[in-house]
Amino acid sequence: MSTASGRLALRLIVLIGILSFFADFAYEGSRSIVGPYLASLDASGTIVGAVGGLGELLGYGLRLFSGRLADATGRYWPITISGYVIQMGSVPALALTSGWSSAAALIILERIGKAIRNPSRDVMLSHAGKQASGYGWAFGLHEALDQFGAMSGPLAVAAVLAHDGSHREAFALLFVPAVVNLRLVIARWLYPKPRDLEVPTSISGARLPKILWIYLLGAALVAAGFSDYSLIAYHFSRAETVPSNWIAIFYAVAMGVSGVGSLVLGKLFDRFGFNVLILLTLLSALFAPLVFLGGFWPWCRNLGTRHRRP
């Protein structure tokens, strides 16, 4: 591993992280308020949950096909770019919707765009990871930049709503980071063949290792207990446990914690491996009772009463 190749790999990771910053700024900003927005369009809780669930199903299930396509063709950048175009185009388009059905279609389309681009993007990160001091650090650094964008987007949306702006105006604001993200074609010119960054290795045997199937089973169980934030935000709005202009801020705080944690936990993963994932999975399982059962701390509940609409 040469110092020059290590620097080149790190530049690629940072560059993709910056692109992900603007992507998450846009789509996580929209996801922080789609629950209340659908509610304002007279969508029921069942509809909000179904839209979020279907979006996540397609957002993860389609990766099986986009990932295989990336491996078969080796065209990582074109596939990544096409996914970003679909995803970034659907976010500001929410500002033009007038009914819950058209909004739901765009929310699902945004998830499809992510499904298209994520496997190819992650392959490029993995190619650079070994040259940049470890896979955990590479993905942790990328995830930190990614999540700081995911924190900034909801905060920008919250600022619009706090100044008496509408949901549509908030979606329109997200056009700016979406356009910045789509300039990722520049990166395509700088790194036309990311796989060249990785030292060639060979894998013997045709069967996938047992640990992979155990990991997939665990991931499936985590997904079975997953609740999309659109449904959580819908619950906050309907139950009035959180003031409406705080819902996006709550999401931003969660994204910020995730971003900071990614840097630390990426290093820990390189050192301790899957034990880190087991502990984090057990801790994250506490989200359901904390979110859906009971109220909130008294001072926040009182604040919510003061901000509650008549």
210-252: pLDDT as tens digits = 777 887 887 787 777 777 777 788 888 777 777 777 888 888 8
Contact indicator for 263, 138 with CB cutoff of 8 Å: no
Per-residue pLDDT reduced to its tens digit, 156-172: 998 998 888 899 999 99
Residue 96 has pLDDT above 50, yes or no: yes
CA-CA distance, 91 to 174, in Å (whole number)?
A: 7
Neighbours of 239 (CB within 10 A): 12
* Helix-strand-coil split of the chain, %, nearest 5: 80, 0, 20
User: Tokens 């069942």 belong to which residue?
Assistant: 46
- Is 1.10.3720.10 the CATH number for 3-197+209-307? no
Whether the pLDDT of residue 110 is over 80: the answer is yes
Q: Which of 74-78, 130-134, 253-257, 300-304 has the lowest mean pLDDT?
A: 300-304
Q: Give which of 124, 167, 225 is closest to 35, Cα–Cα.
A: 167
Q: Where are the domains of the chain?
A: 3-197+209-307
Write down the pLDDT at residue 302: 44
Residue with tokens 């979110």: 291
Tell me whether residue 110 is exposed, middle or buried, using C-beta atoms within 10 angstroms of its C-beta: 0 to 12, 13 to 18, 19 or more.
buried
Q: Which of 204, 226, 199 has its CA nearest to residue 285?
A: 226
User: CA 66, CA 139: separation in Å to the nearest integer?
Assistant: 20
* 134 vs 201, more confident: 134
